[in-house]
Structure 1
């Protein structure tokens, strides 16, 4: 509110604001509510100065002006009340020191804005006020003792008086100024303003009712009123209610009204009891209000987190569930209901949730959960459920076991996710991969394994024969005089002949054997678990099948094959084994074709 003023005008502003307020509050305390040794029960001027120091900008000139205004107004108020001049200087010096110490202690831990909404900041403020009050009391007690003598009672009375002044007056001034500065009061609804006014007015009326009579000890009624203000209005309600109660109780007790004034003790005892009463009320309500604010913030944060959780569950198709093993009940989130095809809130029990799984998956789920409960280990399972509409869906669950005292399992918590699309996409991807692999490994003309696949299969078969002694033989054959067939009948007819030869040869093989086309009109038969004699019989069967099959095929020219057969004999690689088979093939061709020859 002073940002547009020049530094000199701003200094004057804080000087006048501090001096005027301090003089009025100090004079009121000294003349309206007096205790033993001419000491006020509460010294609100200390709280007023500390509030201004916390609110004003951290400019040295502003603070110096505020301290100057406080010292001068303190001297004026004490002199006007008849306090000896030496004591006036001692009191003013001590009050100045307490304000400086309190500000230093607060800024040392909280260089920014001190908030009365956080328990930690409230505790810091109370500790700083107590420390400053002790320093102030010690200073004034030492000075007065040198001047006119002072008892320990004077020390305690001063300490509690200025402590109450800071604890009771500073918070409402600071909070009210900040609410006005941020227009928080302007943004409040009319209903809220009416409620706040009613609560604070009620606190004042209840306090007046309790302290204008001494017949009934109704000192607990203001406590209830301030707690209600703290509950409904937060820290500001607690601080404002506390200030109202302090003003009324101090005035009434000082005028001889109320249950505390009726105590048959010395005046200073009554003042100390009033101070004890206010301190007890203060330390009950102010921390309570801060804790209530923390609870409200946590409740809002929890509500927001729950809202985000529900949104995240809906977006990810993930729900959560919890089984109470003690009460044998189950809780589902809204998304868990949707995963199962149910309306959120529909009645379900533990058995229903497991029965939703198809028979073969349900047994596995039960076993996994039983093991998890017995071991306490986290679990994971995936299965198929039959929804309420009859649709089969794939779901996946993760979870953990909640344990109580003694490590006993008391609940199971888990998530459930609809992974049907993921499973279906994986199936489609696997099918596509398999199809692509088949295409990559298949000869397009004959439908037989191509050269790459055939040689890879032969590599594995050779490794098995070499490592485990499994019998293995390789038969290499090609079509006799294939060039003549192409020249006489055309390449299209040649392709038909190659395809027919491949089909007839494959039909003649056993299930454990493999036939592949490795180029042009050349084929390879991989004969596993075959002795030399058995391999020769199979290879001869292939030759005859080609010879008779192609001859019987209407419209196709006659075709025969020559075959070279090599039985595994410790070769280190497939090239060596294939070379032996090729040599036998060349021998069959030299000897007239359409025949089988065994490699040496």
Structure 2
């Protein structure tokens, strides 16, 4: 009920609805199906009262309990009970409703849901506990009049009230919430038609089974209620159960059906009917709740699988599993796509490994064998040849599944296509190397520049210092280079520098390096060279540069060279300084010559 009026008006409306419904249900129940001591076989007003208490706002409950009390006293007196006995029954029923509500609110943080098995179990506990309390109160209040029959009265009250709550409350609460959420308005017409058909069939089957006693057909209503639970969920199960209860109670009360034909006293027949209804109730309602939970779980699982497949396709990641007991393999759809196969194509363990290139296959097999042996997670990367012949780079990692006793029973792994990553890394490495070459190369001559030459010399000095290998450094520059620039121009001067660089590089050994320090100055790093060997190499370089070559129109050029042999210097600057001093000596003595530092 939506709150569109003041609290007092709303409380009055709920009180009237409670009083009217309770009176009608109580009067009909007492008239149609009476057991021993005027106790009905099923007491629907208890379920009706609890349903309203669960649905109504808290401020309307007190007024509704007053309305219920008035309706209860009136109905019981109309059924033939005295005022005192009617008041006693009313007190017991009122306590039972309040107790059930309190227990439900205490055990359920939110709304009570009959679609959740745990919530339904809490509802059953509350209903049975409240019924037991109600039965105890009623037995205590009318005990003097019962004499030795108080136990029969207690059991009869307990089962009657419990059935009323368990059977009537769920359909009322569920229907009210469906109406409030407008779920019925949005339900497809086909679904509504199916619900009406199933519930009508339930009524017809129940009426047919309990209108005669010749054929044992009490199982037919059970089938109908189970069908309602399966197709319509908790609401269908609760409504079908209510229909079965109404029809069986009415027909049995009229002396019809298999229960009325039992050769026993009236109390025994009533208890058998109650047992029949309770058995059906505790079979169908939990079944309906479990079916709802299963369907929700199936939907979540389906959504999770769909999301997993979409994530795998977007990330180019698949998964696979090898059963080590049956020696079979399972692939996800994306794993098939990575291999260039249609999903579902039959594959085996051998095929999955044969697709790797031979050298990568051996590595992968070794890693997997070691993982199975140790039980540790694994990771490997390799190249596989797809069904269309294309080679792809893939990466796999996973873990070992173990069974009882820690014995490995399976291998689970993921497979990722990393071809683009590998290609991007290769391109990036090539770009980095190109950038490094540019950063380390003199653009005019193509020789190592000053920074690279110094770094190479520092590394060579570390080797000479650690291993005692001989090392020498030669510094040379072009004699009278300013005169060449002035007489022939800077363009010709640049060409002369290039020719000197080419001849210097050609005259050195593979392990040696020549770099341009700047302008017309060059440095040679002569590795594993003693003083005598270094002089021979440096002299060969000087003569190569001096040699006349008529193949070009460039002016001749000579160089002066200063040579220094490594003698334990602490840094490159100190060694270069000694070579530079030797170069100055060569220039002072006339140029185009080699001088060795002292």
Check whether TM > 0.5: yes
Bigger drift between 381-390 and 76-85 goes to 381-390
- Structure 1 equivalent of residue 34 of structure 2: 34
C-alpha distance in 2 between matches for 1:37 and 1:403: 66
- Structure 2 equivalent of residue 124 of structure 1: 122
C-alpha distance in 1 between matches for 2:289 and 2:207: 26
Q: How does 1:154-233 map to 2 (within 5 A)?
A: 154-233=153-232
Q: Does 1:74 find its partner at 2:49? A: no
Q: How does 1:420-435 map to 2 (within 5 A)?
A: 420-435=419-434
C-alpha distance in 2 between matches for 1:376 and 1:279: 53
C-alpha distance in 2 between matches for 1:262 and 1:436: 102
Provide runs of 4+ in structure 1 moved above 4 Å.
Answer: 146-150, 550-553
**Cα displacement string for residues 237-261 of structure 1 (whole angstroms, at most 9, x for unaligned residues):** 1111111121222223333333333
Contact 1:380 1:397 in 2 (8 A): yes
Query: Secondary structure of 2:469's partner?
Result: coil
Quote how far apart the aligned CAs of 1:385 are. Answer: 2.1
Quote how far apart the aligned CAs of 1:493 are. Answer: 1.1
C-alpha distance in 1 between matches for 2:590 and 2:137: 130
**Cα displacement string for residues 95-148 of structure 1 (whole angstroms, at most 9, x for unaligned residues):** 111111111222223343221111121112112212222222222222222566
Quote how far apart the aligned CAs of 1:83 are. Answer: 1.0
Q: Does 1:585 find its partner at 2:587? A: no
What TM-score, normalized by structure 2, do the two folds share? Answer: 0.95
Q: Does 1:98 find its partner at 2:100? A: no
Quote how far apart the aligned CAs of 1:14 are. Answer: 0.8
C-alpha distance in 2 between matches for 1:238 and 1:300: 21
Q: Does 1:492 find its partner at 2:491? A: yes
C-alpha distance in 2 between matches for 1:139 and 1:584: 122
C-alpha distance in 2 between matches for 1:156 and 1:463: 101
**Cα displacement string for residues 372-400 of structure 1 (whole angstroms, at most 9, x for unaligned residues):** 33333222222222222222222222222
Q: Does 1:9 find its partner at 2:13? A: no
C-alpha distance in 1 between matches for 2:487 and 2:334: 73
Query: Secondary structure of 1:200's partner?
Result: helix
What count of residue pairs does the alignment treat as equivalent?
Answer: 597
Q: Does 1:54 find its partner at 2:58? A: no
Q: Does 1:445 find its partner at 2:444? A: yes
- Structure 1 equivalent of residue 137 of structure 2: 139
C-alpha distance in 1 between matches for 2:594 and 2:533: 14
C-alpha distance in 2 between matches for 1:569 and 1:322: 65
- Structure 1 equivalent of residue 435 of structure 2: 436
Q: How does 1:227-306 map to 2 (within 5 A)?
A: 227-306=226-305
**Cα displacement string for residues 524-557 of structure 1 (whole angstroms, at most 9, x for unaligned residues):** 1111222222222222221122112x65552121
Quote how far apart the aligned CAs of 1:460 are. Answer: 1.5
C-alpha distance in 2 between matches for 1:327 and 1:547: 80
Query: Secondary structure of 1:444's partner?
Result: coil
Query: Secondary structure of 2:142's partner?
Result: helix
- Structure 2 equivalent of residue 339 of structure 1: 338
What TM-score, normalized by structure 1, do the two folds share? Answer: 0.95
Bigger drift between 531-540 and 503-512 goes to 531-540
Contact 1:551 1:559 in 2 (8 A): no
C-alpha distance in 2 between matches for 1:67 and 1:40: 21
- Structure 1 equivalent of residue 527 of structure 2: 528
Q: Does 1:466 find its partner at 2:491? A: no
- Structure 2 equivalent of residue 557 of structure 1: 555
Bigger drift between 325-334 and 72-81 goes to 325-334
Query: Secondary structure of 1:151's partner?
Result: helix
**Cα displacement string for residues 61-82 of structure 1 (whole angstroms, at most 9, x for unaligned residues):** x112211111100000011111
**Cα displacement string for residues 473-511 of structure 1 (whole angstroms, at most 9, x for unaligned residues):** 111111111111111111111111111111111111111
- Structure 1 equivalent of residue 381 of structure 2: 382
Bigger drift between 426-435 and 367-376 goes to 367-376
C-alpha distance in 1 between matches for 2:469 and 2:120: 86
Quote how far apart the aligned CAs of 1:262 are. Answer: 3.3
C-alpha distance in 2 between matches for 1:209 and 1:411: 57
- Structure 2 equivalent of residue 114 of structure 1: 112
**Cα displacement string for residues 180-208 of structure 1 (whole angstroms, at most 9, x for unaligned residues):** 22222232223222222222222223323
C-alpha distance in 1 between matches for 2:35 and 2:17: 28
Bigger drift between 46-55 and 192-201 goes to 192-201
C-alpha distance in 2 between matches for 1:329 and 1:112: 48
C-alpha distance in 1 between matches for 2:562 and 2:484: 22
**Cα displacement string for residues 410-467 of structure 1 (whole angstroms, at most 9, x for unaligned residues):** 3332222222211111111111111001000000011011111111111122222223
Quote how far apart the aligned CAs of 1:264 are. Answer: 3.3
C-alpha distance in 2 between matches for 1:388 and 1:475: 60
- Structure 2 equivalent of residue 43 of structure 1: 43
**Cα displacement string for residues 21-68 of structure 1 (whole angstroms, at most 9, x for unaligned residues):** 10111111112111122211111101001111111223x1x1122111
Contact 1:551 1:557 in 2 (8 A): no
Gaps in structure 2 of 5+ consecutive residues:
none
Query: Secondary structure of 2:264's partner?
Result: coil
Bigger drift between 259-268 and 194-203 goes to 259-268
**Cα displacement string for residues 274-303 of structure 1 (whole angstroms, at most 9, x for unaligned residues):** 222222221111111111101101111111
**Cα displacement string for residues 328-370 of structure 1 (whole angstroms, at most 9, x for unaligned residues):** 3333222222222223333333322222222222232233333
